[in-house]
Chain A
Amino acid sequence: VTEGADVRVEERTGVVIAHIAGEVDLSNADRLGQKIARAVPNSALGVVIDLSETSYLDSSGISIVFQLVERLNGRQQLVRVAVPEDAPLRRVLSVVSMESVVPITATAEAAEEEIRQAA
């Protein structure tokens, strides 16, 4: 009986937004990462990984975010990660220095806006 996590992907004129909801761990991280990677066309300006509804994320989920960032940056696509300011996840991301590879914004909308302006 796994509660697990789900990813919902939407595209708004060139920006792909992947909303990850639920608990991400070793049991489902790879599957979610692949689902997001497959959903991003070469033509996309960039990708927002929205962790606003992610109730749990550990190193296995962090690892897929790093992999996505590396892969998309290699294709000249921009990536942003959205995490609310007061989410407990903020401290976890700070420990692994996620901000050194990808900008973190408070909301998916702000992240989307940043990508549009930078592109």
Chain B
Amino acid sequence: LAYTDGLVERRDMWIDEGMDHLRDAAAGVDRDLDAFCDGVLSRMLTAWPTSEDVALIALKLTSLSAADMSLELPAEADQLTLVRRALRQWLAGRGASQDESYEILVATTEAAANAVEHAYGPLPARIHIEASSAEGVVEVRVRDSGTWRPPRGANRGRGTLLMQELMDGFEVVTGDAGTEVRLRRRLGGGESS
């Protein structure tokens, strides 16, 4: 957590005391970053109002060696490299071979690229990517808040073909909140296509 002194310094309060209050405020709020910042700011500024400007930056550390992987990114083409980098590292930790890893990266990027191409509307779109593994099967879920459009043109058609053929399971689930592509692949050469 980084912040400007306006958050913890008051004329009638030592800075150490302010930082103690901040620690208490930060300990009791939501772990979602937006809610966390709102919570910290409202607690601190309600109890100790100030006329100064206050800026706050919160960072969340994510461990890629954790059992599951979860990413949330803007639905933009230049984010796809980051998706692959994170997933490649995660898959290496699950013991995926080079070929398996490559094929899962292609299928995941196809799903994410689909979300990027269909990201439109008044709000900046986000893509959520979650990966988990159980009993030698990797599942990657790519979720966006848009509506799935049937593939258009040869390019997207090939993307769908790749997801189908490279994975053991390929499913598109459309709900109120958006579209989720679920990709499943058994590791260890037990690929069935």
Contact = CB atoms under 8 A, between A and B. Distances in A.
A23 B162 contact: no
A93 B25 CA distance: 55
A89 B82 CA distance: 20
Contact of B81 (A23, A62, A66, A95): A23
B98 interface: yes
Interface string A95-118: 110000000000000000000000
A105 B60 CA distance: 47
A106 B81 CA distance: 27
B191 to A, nearest CB: 10
Given A25-B80, A66-B154, A95-B161, 17 more contacts: A2-B78, A23-B84, A25-B77, A25-B109, A27-B80, A27-B81, A56-B105, A60-B155, A63-B154, A63-B158, A88-B102, A89-B102, A91-B99, A91-B103, A91-B166, A96-B158, A96-B162
Interface residues of B, number: 28
A56 B85 CA distance: 11
A59 B103 contact: no
Interface of B: 77-78, 80-82, 84-85, 98-99, 101-103, 105-106, 109-110, 113, 116-117, 154-156, 158-159, 161-162, 165-166
Contacts of A92: 102-103, 106, 162, 166
Contact of B165 (A3, A23, A60, A95): A95
A41 interface: no
11 contacts: A1-B82, A23-B84, A27-B80, A27-B81, A56-B105, A59-B113, A63-B154, A88-B99, A88-B102, A92-B102, A95-B166
A56 B116 contact: no
Contact of B162 (A26, A27, A58): A58
Tell me if B's interface is mostly helix, strand, loop or mixed. helix
Contact of A59 (B80, B116, B155): B155
A58 B80 CA distance: 11
Contacts of A95: 161-162, 165-166
A59 B81 CA distance: 15
Given A88-B102, A92-B106, A59 B162 contact: yes
Contact of B158 (A23, A27, A62): A62
B98 A60 contact: no
Contacts of A56: 84, 102, 105-106, 109
Residue from the set B81, B105, B110, B116 with the largest chain A CB neighbour count within 10 Å: B81
